[in-house]
Amino acid sequence: MKQLFLFFSVICFSFFSVEVAAQVRFETKLSKNRLGLNERLRVSFEMNQNGDNFIPPNFDGFSVIGGPNQSVSNSYVNGVRSFSKTYTYFLTPNRKGKLTIGQASIQIDGEVYKTSPKQVEVTEAVNNPNSPQARATAIADENLHLVAEISKTNPYLNEAVTVIYKLYFSSEISVSNVNEVEMPKYSDFWSHLIPIPKLEIKRGEYKGEAYNYVTWRKAVLYPQKAGKLTLEPLTLNVSVDVPTNRRDFFGNRVYQKTPKIITAGRRSINVRSLPESGKPANFDGAVGTFDLNVKFNKTALKSSESFQATVKVSGRGNLKLFSLPKLKAPSSLEVYEPEHMERIKTNLLGMQGSIEDTYTIVPQYQGNYPIPPLTFSYFDPVKETYVSLNSKEALIDVFEGPVANNPSLQGNLTKQVPLINENYFDFIKLETSLIPLEKEAFYRSSRFWMLLCSPYLLYFIIAFLKRRNENKTIDPVTARQKYANRLAKKYLSSAKKALGEKERFYDALERALHNYLKAKLSIETSEFSKERIVGLLQEKNSQASSISAFVSILEKCEAALYAPSSNVTMQEDFDLAVQTIAALDREI
């Protein structure tokens, strides 16, 4: 009975421990409960689950000299997750007596939690206010700031927004060993990180005072939906060297190293929808300023020859996030699927460059064929209006070859229906001519066996033809994947030939990687983002090392335009790309 009782006690204690661990804790922690009038008080509001809408108390009787500073701790020990989030304030009392730190509130999972009030006794001023560590922390709080500078807080949908994270620090302190604790996520944006080759210390102003600053991160964002969008905070872990009142043997001031976690905080952007009034019917989501150019490599040729038509849009805007207008031609001109080409660079002003579709066209008959003009529409966020661009009509002269039976084919953009005259069905005989059957027995005759076996033979022939046609039939998705696969091999070969020419090499290598993703993951160019690529490769059970290598190559291609590269580096990047693609092929 004692063993049974002990067993049930252990089980109950385990359930009780799990229940207690799952409870939400939100409490106030004070650095001290008794302090002098000239001392500082650190007040921390700590929770064990992530929350929103934090509201601090009014700190009646105190002056806030630092904060709020937000810190997040997220760790796993033996498979058990431990989370902690803290808001810290530094206060100085304004009067003596018993003062109260009021209730703070936070919203966690839809519920509002509040802390218990804390009492602090404030006495006469003391001779040695605060410990050295507390003094160093307060100095670091006053002289170190992380700021997210946003170019536009109310952009239009698909308009470029630049976010620059700057770490400001005064000349009284120095910083070292800066590490990212929490990276911002851009879940509702198309994002592109601009590489920073080297961190440089510059002089600037923060709240009207002179500060040193370092640009830590640059990102270009294109919002993908309207409304209020939130940017997650960037959090850094910084080692701060704070001056003390002590000096060394040579009279130099002694510095104390203090760890500090600092965050830029959440930022909100109000994204405006594109206006409905005046929106063209052919508008496909292009936002920026663009030019349209349609050109033909030849306008006079034989029917046995081919010519190319190029539809090109260039300018500044969301070039990777819309489609080009489709070329239309008369039915006697056979138009093949276009080859898509992108020449785009992304800087702090957004995407700039060009995209183009090149069509190969083969005429079937001689004659004059008009190519109707194309219309491309975009929204100009500066002028806040829609703009439509029109190309010129082109006339293709085919001067040799077979002549079309129907001259109207020259200008018709659709397939023609043949004309039917009154003698069209003369081949059908309306009168019968009966022949008497032979008197020989039909049963077991050669005709009998032939008719008996013909259904089976016909069945096998139909099954064979159907099987062969199924093998030849390719659905549109598979066709696009095969086409992208061919382009990936083509650009990979071009990258190999361009070794030594930095821009051509990395442009071809990046296109090879993009087309490889199109072929393997069935995604379009508009869906490209590093988070999307990593998620899809993880769903395909790819190894983390292969995913990391693939993303690393993409980042090198993006950074290559701003950093010098040697032939050795290009060869290493090319070899790594070939090895990574081969590894992903095996894993996928």
**Which residue ranges form the domains of the chain, and what is each CATH number?**
23-130 (2.60.40.740), 140-271 (2.60.40), 288-410 (2.60.40), 476-587 (1.20.120)
Range with the poorest average pLDDT among 194-198, 226-230, 460-464, 495-499: 495-499
Q: How confident is the model over 326-332, as a mean pLDDT?
A: 89
Residue 220 identity: V
Residue 409 has pLDDT above 60, yes or no: no
| CA pair distance 531, 547, nearest whole angstrom | 11
Q: 182-208 b/e with 16+ CB inside 10 Å = b?
A: bebebebbbbbbbeeeeeeeeeeebee
Encode 459-495 in three state secondary structure: HHHHHHHHHHHHHHCCCHHHHHHHHHHHHHHHHHHHH
| CA pair distance 542, 520, nearest whole angstrom | 12
Q: Which residues pair with 82 in a beta bridge?
A: 75
330: nearest Cα among 246, 406, 436, 221: 406
pLDDT given for residue 153 in this prediction: 92
| CA pair distance 410, 367, nearest whole angstrom | 7
pLDDT digits (tens, 9 = 90+) for 476-515: 556 655 665 676 677 678 777 777 777 788 788 878 877 7
pLDDT given for residue 130 in this prediction: 55
pLDDT given for residue 416 in this prediction: 44
Strands 394-398 vs 307-317: parallel, antiparallel or unpaired: unpaired
Residue 471 has pLDDT above 70, yes or no: no
Strands 97-101 vs 52-55: parallel, antiparallel or unpaired: unpaired
553: left (phi over 0), alpha (psi -120 to 50) or beta: alpha
pLDDT given for residue 567 in this prediction: 65
pLDDT given for residue 492 in this prediction: 77
| Per-chain mean pLDDT for the chain | 82
Q: 511-529 b/e with 16+ CB inside 10 Å = b?
A: bbbbbbbbbbbebebebbb
- Find out whether the peptide bond into 195 is cis, omega within 30 degrees of 0: no
The H-or-E segment that residue 519 falls in is: helix 502-521
CA dist list (Å): 199 to 217, 238, 272, 457, 565: 10, 15, 35, 78, 19
pLDDT given for residue 5 in this prediction: 56
pLDDT given for residue 415 in this prediction: 44
Residue 473 has pLDDT above 80, yes or no: no
| pTM summary value | 0.49
> Is residue 549 exposed (0-12), middle (13-18) or buried (19+ Cβ within 10 Å)?
middle
pLDDT given for residue 20 in this prediction: 40
Contact 480, 337 (CB under 8 A): no
CA dist list (Å): 495 to 491, 558, 578: 6, 15, 11
Q: How confident is the model over 152-176, as a mean pLDDT?
A: 93
What percent of the chain lies above the pLDDT cut of 90? Answer: 34
Residue 446 has pLDDT above 90, yes or no: no
pLDDT given for residue 18 in this prediction: 42
As given in the structure block, the two tokens for residue 257 are: 């190293």
271: nearest Cα among 223, 321, 305, 203: 223
Q: How confident is the model over 316-327, as a mean pLDDT?
A: 94
| CA pair distance 167, 206, nearest whole angstrom | 10
pLDDT digits (tens, 9 = 90+) for 56-104: 998 888 888 777 888 787 776 666 777 888 888 888 888 888 999 999 9
pLDDT given for residue 21 in this prediction: 43
Split at pLDDT 50, 70, 90, the class of 378 is very high
587: left (phi over 0), alpha (psi -120 to 50) or beta: alpha
| CA pair distance 300, 293, nearest whole angstrom | 20
